[in-house]
Amino acid sequence: MKCCYCGAELDTSNFCPRCGNDVRIWKKTQFISNYLYNQGLEKAKKRELSYAAQALTLSLQYNKRNTDARNLLGVVYMEMGELYLAFSEWCISLNFQSQENDARYFLASCQQTGSQIDRMNLTIHKYNQCLQYCHQQTYDLAVIQLRKVLEQSPHLVKGHLLMALLQMREGKYDQAMESLKRVEAIDRSNPTARAYREECSRYLGRDGKVLRPKEKKQRRSLKDWYRDLQENSSMASVVNLIIGAVAGAAVVGFLVVPAIRHSQNAAQSNGLVEANATISSKAREISALNEKIDEQKQAVKDAKQEAADAQDTITSYQNLMKAYDLYRSKSYTSAGKYMEKVQRKLLDSDNKKIYDEIMAVVKTTLLKQEYNEGMTAYWQNDYKAASKSLKKVVDEEEGYDRYKAAYYLGDCYVQLKDTKQAKKYLQLCSEKSGSFIYRNRASKALKSLESSDKKSSDTEEN
C-alpha cells in the first residue's frame, strides 16, 4: 500500500515513513474497499450478481482506483447483458492503470470483431423501442420486439424481466415464471425477479399451471337433467339437434374465428414491427449520409479558402519582388503602389523584414502622394475623393503633414454635412497642430459648427 500524499510504501505504522503524515483514515478506506471487493468476488462466484454489483460499487466509492474491483464490476455487467456499462468501467480502469491491467484484455477480446459492438448498439436500440411501445400501450408490438432482443442478447437480465412483466399483465403467469427462471439462472439474487416470482406464485397451482375459477354448477345436476331428457325420445332428438347446432356455432365462434383473427393480428403486428425497424434503419442511414454531405461541403469550402489564400500569398510575393526592384532603383513612388497590394501577414519572417525595410523608406513617399492627391481633389471641390486620401494621411500616428491634413479633412466633412466627423478632425488639428495658423482656423471652424448646431436646436424647440 502506498501513501496518498507522497507515494511511498507504507508499513504497519499509522504515519508515513517518508512524509510523516497521518494515514490511518487512508488505510481504513483501503481495507474497507478491499473487503467489499472480496465480498463482491464471493457473490459473483455464487452467481449472485446483483449483490456482487452492489458490493463492488460500494468498494469503488471508498477507493475509485481499485482497478481489480472495477474490472470485476465490468465482468458482472457483461454477464448481465449490460455491455456498454462493462466497457465504461474497463475504460475508466485503463485510465487509472494503463500497464498490467486485465481491462485491456477484456476490451481487446470484445473489440476483435466489430460484430459484437454492432450487436450491442442494435440491442440497445431495439430495447429502447420496446420501452417506447410500452409507453404507447402497444404491448403486442413490445413483446414481438423484445423476443428479437432476447434472441440476440440472451443474457440481458432487464429484457427477461420486462418480458415477465408483460406476460404477467396478460395473465400468463406460467410463462412469466419461465422468464424469471432464466433471470435466476443468470443472477440468483435479483430482487426484482424475486418480487415478480412471489406475485406469480399467487396465481399458480402446485402443478405450475394458472388457477381457474371454480364452476358454479355441479356436473351431477346437469347429468340428472340430461337423463330426464332422454326418457322423452322425441324431445331428445330435437334437443340433440339444437345442441349440435349450438356446439358447431360455438366451435366456429370460439375457436375458428379467434384463430383467424389472431393469425391476422400477428401478421399485422410483425409487419408493423418490421416496418418500424426499416424506417428507423433508413432514418439512421439518411442521418449518416447528411453528415457525410456536410463534411464534404466543409471540405470543399476549406479547399476553396486554401486556394484563395494561396493565390493571395503568390500575389503578395510578386508585388513585393516588384516593389523591391523599384526600391533598389530608388523609384519610391512606383514601389509604394506595389507595396499597397502586399499583405504582410502572408509573408514569412525573412520577407517581413524586407517589407518593413521598404516601408520605412517608401511610407513617407506614399503619404506625400496621398496628401497631394487629396489636396488636388479638395481644390477641385471633390470632397469625397479628398476625404478618402486625406484620411489615410491622418490615420498614421506620425505621418506626413498629419495635422494639416486633419484640418482639410475636417473641412471636407463640413462640406459633406457630416458634422460629427468634421468636429473630430478639427478638434485634432486645434489641439495638436504645431502651426498656429491651422490651429486658429480649426478653432474658428469648430465655433462656427457649434453655433450652427445651437441655432438649429433653438429653431426646433420654437
Give the mean pLDDT per block of 10 residues along the chain (462 residues).
67 70 77 91 92 93 91 93 89 90 86 72 88 90 90 90 91 89 91 90 77 47 52 56 74 68 69 73 79 81 77 85 82 77 84 82 77 89 89 71 82 88 86 81 86 68 54
Q: Cell numbers of 351, please?
A: 520577407
Q: Are residues 56 and 88 in the same domain?
A: yes
Q: Are residues 180 and 154 in the same domain?
A: yes
**Does a structural domain hold residue 358?**
no
**Does a structural domain hold residue 44?**
yes
Q: Cell numbers of 149, please?
A: 432482443
Q: Are residues 369 and 414 in the same domain?
A: yes
**Does a structural domain hold residue 432?**
yes
How many residues are there in the chain? 462
163-168, Cβ contacts within 8 angstroms, sequence gap of 24 or more: 164/193, 164/196, 164/200, 165/196, 166/134, 166/139, 166/142, 168/196, 168/199, 168/200
Q: Are residues 147 and 89 in the same domain?
A: no
Q: Are residues 123 and 194 in the same domain?
A: yes
Per the CB < 8 A criterion, the answer to whether 393 and 405 are in contact is yes
Q: Cell numbers of 289, please?
A: 449520409
Q: Are residues 326 and 376 in the same domain?
A: no
**Does a structural domain hold residue 356?**
no
Give pLDDT, residue 226.
54
- Threshold 0.85, pTM exceeds: no
Q: Are residues 107 and 163 in the same domain?
A: no
Q: Are residues 94 and 127 in the same domain?
A: no
Amino acid at position 326, single letter: L
The residue out of 91, 112, 133 marking a domain boundary is 112
Q: Which residue has the cell 502586399?
A: 342
The residue out of 87, 112, 137 marking a domain boundary is 112
- For residue 349, which phi and psi values (nearest 5 degrees)? -65, -40
Which three-class secondary structure state does DSSP give residue 210?
A: strand
Give pLDDT, residue 53.
93
Of 177, 165, 154, which is closest to residue 130 (Cα–Cα)? 165
Give pLDDT, residue 397.
56
Q: What is the CATH number of the domain that holds 164?
A: 1.25.40.10
Per the CB < 8 A criterion, the answer to whether 157 and 183 are in contact is yes
CA angle centred on 174, ends 171 and 176, rounded to 5°? 75
Report d(CA 265, CA 277) in Å as an integer.
18
**Does a structural domain hold residue 17?**
no
Contacts of 128 (CB under 8 A, 6+ apart): none
Q: What is the DSSP letter of 209?
A: S
**Does a structural domain hold residue 268?**
no
Q: Are residues 33 and 100 in the same domain?
A: yes
Number of domains forming the structure of the chain: 4
Range of the domain at 438: 365-453
Q: Are residues 431 and 375 in the same domain?
A: yes
The residue out of 86, 112, 138 marking a domain boundary is 112
Q: Are residues 446 and 373 in the same domain?
A: yes
**Does a structural domain hold residue 65?**
yes
**Does a structural domain hold residue 188?**
yes
Q: Are residues 343 and 308 in the same domain?
A: yes
Rounded alpha-carbon distances, angstroms, from residue 313 to 299, 323, 347, 357, 438: 21, 15, 7, 19, 43
Give pLDDT, residue 215.
36
